[in-house]
């Protein structure tokens, strides 16, 4: 009986630890890496990787598979190119939470910001969720070739709470902000990686409207960040053009220090 199920031989190994690359083999047994280096013994299957790189699967931290992930188990084309984990819900756009009367609006937001055809999204998504935890459940129910993770997107949260009031320049009430913070806290507790927003005028819906995050005040964003702070987990991810009358860096730094959570930029 072979010692291993698979041996990949004679490749250049980049192991992801930051160590220098080195020549060697990788053996796999029962779906797990069993040996790395000069592997002796045989295997049920062997691959000659001469002239090729052997590496762990890539983690793509910025994708917009939010819709596609609900119908495409292969997550193409990422799965074709060595990606084994994708992170969605970036730039404040996504599809949960989603009130039934806001589906078309959410599709238009994604289509405008990311140039993903709205017709494909409308045809592919079954909308078998409303809340963010329900969206995670829908993702979990589908077997897939890559792992997925997602942020709670600001645009969807604002649309869910403000409803038809969500328009460029809309200012939420104190109660609205509390509800948004509660939704984000619920999402992170359910398994979201964090929260994302966009505050750049470059991002617009298919109708040409700026994304909801551009209307948000520091108060709104800080309260949402504090909601993640109550959980003790989560990344606050944002895209911003920094053209604000108040100091973006100032409140972001203060929020990170207060909550102990990272604030990251998707784009500058």
Delineate the domains of the chain, giving CATH numbers in brackets.
Answer: 4-54 (2.30.40.10), 58-267 (3.20.20.140)
Mean pLDDT of all residues in 104-117: 97
Looking at residues 36-44, what average pLDDT do you find? 95
Taking only the tens place, the pLDDT of each residue in 115-129 is: 999 999 999 999 999
**Of 45, 35, 80, 41, nearest in space to 60 by CA:** 80
- How many Cβ atoms from other residues are within 10 Å of residue 17's Cβ? 7
pLDDT at position 71 over 90 = yes
Output the CA torsion sign for 134, 137, 143, 146: positive
Confidence class for position 73, pLDDT limits 50, 70, 90: very high
pTM over 0.85: yes
Q: What is the pLDDT of residue 246?
A: 57
Judge whether residue 268 has pLDDT over 80.
no
Query: What letter would DSSP give residue 214?
Result: G
pLDDT in tens, 211-227: 999 989 989 999 999 99
The residues with which 7 forms a beta bridge, in sequence order, are 27, 46
Number of residues that this document lists for the chain = 268
pLDDT value of residue 249 = 82
Q: How far apart are CA 187 and CA 9, in angstroms?
A: 44
In degrees and rounded to multiples of 5, residue 105 shows phi and psi of -65, -45
Give the whole-angstrom CA distance, residue 70 versus residue 135.
9
């Amino acid at each position: 009986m072979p010692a291993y199920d698979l041996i990949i031989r004679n490749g250049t190994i980049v192991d992801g630890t930051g160590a220098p690359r080195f020549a060697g083999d990788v053996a796999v047994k029962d779906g797990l890496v069993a040996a790395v280096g000069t592997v002796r013994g045989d295997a049920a299957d062997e691959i000659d990787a001469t002239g090729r790189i052997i590496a762990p699967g890539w983690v793509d931290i910025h994708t917009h598979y939010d819709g596609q992930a609900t119908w495409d188990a292969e997550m193409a084309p990422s799965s074709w190119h060595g990606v084994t984990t994708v992170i969605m819900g970036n730039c404040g756009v996504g599809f949960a939470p989603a009130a039934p009367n806001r589906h078309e609006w959410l599709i238009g937001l994604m289509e405008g910001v990311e140039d993903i055809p709205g017709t494909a999204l409308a045809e592919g998504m079954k909308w078998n969720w409303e809340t963010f935890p329900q969206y995670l459940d829908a993702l979990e129910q589908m077997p897939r070739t890559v792992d997925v993770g997602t942020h709670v997107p600001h645009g969807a949260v604002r649309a869910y709470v403000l409803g038809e009031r969500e328009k460029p320049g809309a200012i939420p009430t104190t109660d609205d902000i509390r509800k948004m913070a509660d939704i984000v806290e619920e999402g992170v507790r359910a398994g979201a990686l964090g929260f994302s927003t966009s505050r750049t005028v470059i991002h617009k819906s298919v109708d040409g409207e700026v994304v909801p995050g551009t209307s948000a005040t520091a108060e709104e964003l800080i309260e949402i960040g504090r909601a993640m702070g109550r959980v003790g987990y989560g990344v606050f991810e944002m895209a911003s053009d920094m053209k604000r009358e108040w100091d973006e860096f100032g409140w972001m730094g203060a929020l990170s220090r207060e909550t102990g959570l990272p604030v990251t930029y998707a784009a500058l």
